Structure 1
């Protein structure tokens, strides 16, 4: 037997509206008051079931509570499915008298709620209802770095790129969760309304397994934008490879799992093309990469112009065009002078060895210049003290 009502109490509050609650007016999706009891007056032991939102309710806000309540007996089972067959999980309270749907109700969908309750008389009462949610003005979807199943370096920041701007950053951030195989302290940090990153307080421990839950289906991101889907990304941290470039000494030291593996002679940026100091993170890896100075504003005829079609063992570390790569044309300067256009160059043999040690997400810490990394120029998350980085969280 079904008790009808309309819904719209705050979803954080659990939506535990009881059958005896006072009536209140409003449009579909704006009231949590169930209708009158349908329990027969001559059988007070029969289950008394109330469902919010009301059966047939239209344009229900996806972030409003969906609840099933009985004032007599217990709820035995509840299933909530949309018209695509996707299920929204829910939970019962301790005495099994209230079932509350979890997050995940999507905009622009029709939902069917089914199940059963049992009265103190032992009789089963079916639960059956339908409602539809409002259509979003804009849908919110996420693209993620790293890829699902990828193994990455110890400095990789998790990056979520939204297809539409997020106005209510706190509401969205509450629906993001990081789970790790070993304890890891970390924080989210919004770069802008369309990107939020996560980094640990210190580098990821080698071998850590990480799960990213982007549980944003049905979240109200503000300005008519609603979460259209949820995602789960699982990835792993590889071995620890931490490299340090000393521009003044023209060397790069590579430490693997805490032990010095190799010291490599290098050349860095010459005057006018200074290599940035700071902690950089390997973003992309290319066995062969064309490098054209036009990408940094130089034109053919300029004495500094270059266009090399086959740079070997190139690993990008900034969006502005800095790489670490093999540079056989500068072998004579490696270890003694800085002659590049900002990249860190080394011999082909060292370049290949280094390329084979690294993963996307490994850190390269550069010192010795007065030009520094800035936020947004590559994966620059490690160039801020953790406390300052943490201030970029909407929940800080």
Structure 2
């Protein structure tokens, strides 16, 4: 049996404990906290529900009870092997963000945007593989106090890089049939991911599509020839894109080019003529000679690929050896314009003047007088179309810029996003 004095003493101790607990629950959040900080709280270990987030210390671990901003950065401070295609976010759960800057180790800024409330900033550009990044800035609490933002992280290193070479050149003026061609330095496995980062904009409405030739080449052409005078911009925004097999885009690039006047030519092998239409009007009908038996000129839509005022033409390049009756080696062929990779040209051919307009005597090229060849050369641009008809030999896919020999429906199916 407990005596009355002992019972009274126990109740007194319990009352003191209740008072201490009550005092703790109602303590001032700006108090020292027992760490000797003189009113500055220790960093919070649970300031954000974002996984992998890094934090900047605020005045309290309970933002709803504090006027100071509490910051969470994703990816976490010190993180490594961060995927370049994942966005960086900076979030505050109290107050609002004042400014946020994200830079790589070269000092290049990464674009981003705030939400309406300015409580979150999200990067909009992909990052570089194998780079170090610094997040800086500040946030403002509801009390008007400023809280600094500071965090660093590293992106993963790519086993292989993805870079683009492009036709046409930046600033070039080209013909109405030129397809945009992007050649990759490494194969693309995830074609859809890469194609999503490619954008073509035009000064007038144009319907077009991308078409994958193979894993290292993707082309773009309109449904019909480019309208004359169109301004075209291509944004190859592939920095940070995951092309598959740990191949990552290491850079982006932009090019702009213009479409010249419309020069559309038609060669009739049977009639031995070439008609040239400029901006919709017939400009000239030219007597020509084409390929003889055994060297038939290919039928199909060809595109001028290269232009030479003077070009050496050696039959050895197409497999005809010296000593063969069909061998030739002419050092100064004038006004030569390449239309196939295999060696078909349109050029001046004074040696066949007697056959131009009446017979086909060439080794596959379209020949004409020097005067007509020079006039035609001066009208055309790289990318102008030349359609050949009248033979049973047809253009092989890839033997030059052969995009126009595929129907629009079939061409669209070559898109990874179709």
TM over 0.5: yes
CA contact (8 A) 2:54 2:77 kept: no
State the alpha-carbon separation in 2 of the partners of residues 233 and 325 from structure 1.
31
User: Partner residue of 2:160?
Assistant: 138
Per-residue deviation, residues 107-150 of structure 1 (Å, max 9, x unmatched) = 11111111222222232222111111111111111110001110
The aligned runs of 1:62-101 (5 Å cut-off) are 62-101=84-123
TM-score (norm 1): 0.91
SS of the residue 2:376 aligns to: helix
Per-residue deviation, residues 138-196 of structure 1 (Å, max 9, x unmatched) = 11111100011101011100001111111111111111111111111100011111111
State the alpha-carbon separation in 2 of the partners of residues 367 and 45 from structure 1.
79
Question: Among residues 223, 230, 238, which one is paired with 1:216 in the alignment?
Answer: 238
User: Partner residue of 1:376?
Assistant: 398
Flag structure 1 segments of 5+ consecutive residues without an equivalent.
6-17, 22-31
User: Which of the two has higher C-alpha Rg?
Assistant: 2
Per-residue deviation, residues 15-38 of structure 1 (Å, max 9, x unmatched) = xxx9334xxxxxxxxxx4436784
What is the Cα deviation at residue 60 of structure 1? 1.0
The aligned runs of 1:50-69 (5 Å cut-off) are 50-69=72-91
CA contact (8 A) 1:63 1:218 kept: yes
The aligned runs of 1:132-281 (5 Å cut-off) are 132-281=154-303
SS of the residue 1:87 aligns to: coil
Out of 145-154 and 365-374, give the one that drifted further. 365-374
Per-residue deviation, residues 333-360 of structure 1 (Å, max 9, x unmatched) = 1111111111111100000000000000
CA contact (8 A) 2:200 2:232 kept: yes
SS of the residue 2:192 aligns to: helix
| Pair 1:245–1:39, CA change in 2 (3 A) | same
| Pair 1:36–1:315, CA change in 2 (3 A) | closer
User: Partner residue of 1:361?
Assistant: 383
Question: Among residues 36, 40, 46, which one is paired with 2:59 in the alignment?
Answer: 40
User: Partner residue of 2:20?
Assistant: none
| Pair 1:3–1:35, CA change in 2 (3 A) | farther
What is the Cα deviation at residue 4 of structure 1? 9.0
What is the Cα deviation at residue 279 of structure 1? 0.7
State the alpha-carbon separation in 1 of the partners of residues 44 and 124 from structure 2.
21
State the alpha-carbon separation in 1 of the partners of residues 45 and 203 from structure 2.
45
State the alpha-carbon separation in 1 of the partners of residues 133 and 118 from structure 2.
22
Per-residue deviation, residues 54-79 of structure 1 (Å, max 9, x unmatched) = 11111111112211111222222221
State the alpha-carbon separation in 2 of the partners of residues 68 and 201 from structure 1.
44
Whether 1:20 and 2:42 are equivalent positions in the alignment is no
State the alpha-carbon separation in 1 of the partners of residues 395 and 377 from structure 2.
22
Question: Among residues 318, 335, 352, which one is paired with 1:296 in the alignment?
Answer: 318
CA contact (8 A) 1:331 1:347 kept: yes
State the alpha-carbon separation in 1 of the partners of residues 292 and 181 from structure 2.
32
The aligned runs of 1:281-320 (5 Å cut-off) are 281-320=303-342
**Between structures 1 and 2, the one with greater helix share:** 2
Q: What root-mean-square deviation, in Å, do the aligned CA atoms of Structure 1 and Structure 2 show?
A: 1.8
How many residues align? The count is: 374
CA contact (8 A) 2:55 2:73 kept: no
CA contact (8 A) 2:56 2:150 kept: no
State the alpha-carbon separation in 1 of the partners of residues 44 and 187 from structure 2.
39
Out of 311-320 and 368-377, give the one that drifted further. 368-377
CA contact (8 A) 2:56 2:149 kept: no
What is the Cα deviation at residue 51 of structure 1? 0.4
State the alpha-carbon separation in 2 of the partners of residues 321 and 263 from structure 1.
24
| Pair 1:349–1:194, CA change in 2 (3 A) | same
Per-residue deviation, residues 74-102 of structure 1 (Å, max 9, x unmatched) = 22222111111111111222222221112
